[in-house]
Structure 1
């Protein structure tokens, strides 16, 4: 299984189109964790599974998605409804309730990958407005058998090798 995860693009159509062109035939799913600031019918969002962020106003977006890919349960939410800037606790309760293998979220504009009780929690950072001295980023998650690899990339599609992590 191979997934592209992006978040907090805040109106940047160009990068979303560029990511789609680069990865659409290379990944099983393209996920946007909210704050696209685009309408659900915007062509830049074609091919993305997307949730509603606190800066999204199109009612066609859902606050959360539960997706299945190759036997894996993937929970996607923006994070603002779970106060993720304080703690992942509330979101982890929801993940347990859904029996999620992966939780993808945004909102804080801070990239993060953490394994909590066998579930990968991942924030790809922001592809437009990063915080914490980080670059503009997105993530690629690959799972093969029992090994899960997380790679972060900047907007030039250069891998940030020092930030990657492997869980087995």
Structure 2
């Protein structure tokens, strides 16, 4: 299974187009695209509404099955992800999610808690913390690998977990 995740592109169609053309089982945008829900560049992906998105046609969250994994996507501002993952963790438990995707902080990261994978892809336009602009690629078969890539598609960091 392969999922591509981006977030916080803040009106930059070029970065969305660069990621939307990649091959994956599913592509998610975790909000703050600042585009309309009917924008053709978003057509091929699952998109949620961020705090800078004013089109109410975006859902606040989506839960999608991707190759047997239940994926919950939110922006993160309503879950206060800049302070803690606890609120989004409780949402994940309620939804029985295997993977949680979120943005809002503009800082990439991945971690496992109680066999739930949490991924923030960072920002494709306005990264924070001295990081480059990034998106995330999640590959999960016998091994789980989350790779953070620049807009030039170069890996900058990754997390890997083997299951026995």
Normalising to structure 1: TM-score of the pair? 0.94
TM-superposed deviation, 1:167: 1.5
Using the alignment, how far apart are the partners of 1:73 and 1:142 within structure 2? 14
1:167 pairs with 2:164? no
TM-superposed deviation, 1:19: 1.5
Partner of 2:20: 20
Match of 1:115 among 107, 112, 136: 112
Partner of 1:156: 152
Following TM superposition, where does structure 1 have runs of at least 4 consecutive aligned residues deviating by more than 6 angstroms? none
Partner of 1:48: 45
TM-superposed deviation, 1:68: 0.3
Using the alignment, how far apart are the partners of 1:42 and 1:100 within structure 2? 28
RMSD: 0.7
Partner of 1:132: 129
Secondary structure at the counterpart of residue 164 of structure 1 = strand
Q: Which runs of 5+ in 1 are unaligned?
A: none
| Aligned positions of 1:74-153 closer than 5 A | 74-145=71-142, 147-153=143-149
Whether the 8 Å CA contact 1:14–1:44 is kept in 2: the answer is no
1:96-143 residue CA offsets vs partner (Å, 9 max, x unmatched): 001100000000001010101100000000000000000000010000
Using the alignment, how far apart are the partners of 1:165 and 1:85 within structure 2? 21
Partner of 1:5: 5
TM-superposed deviation, 1:76: 0.2
**Number of matched residues?**
162
Farther-moved stretch of structure 1 (117-126 vs 39-48): 39-48
Secondary structure at the counterpart of residue 155 of structure 2 = coil
TM-superposed deviation, 1:45: 1.0
Q: Which runs of 5+ in 2 are unaligned?
A: none
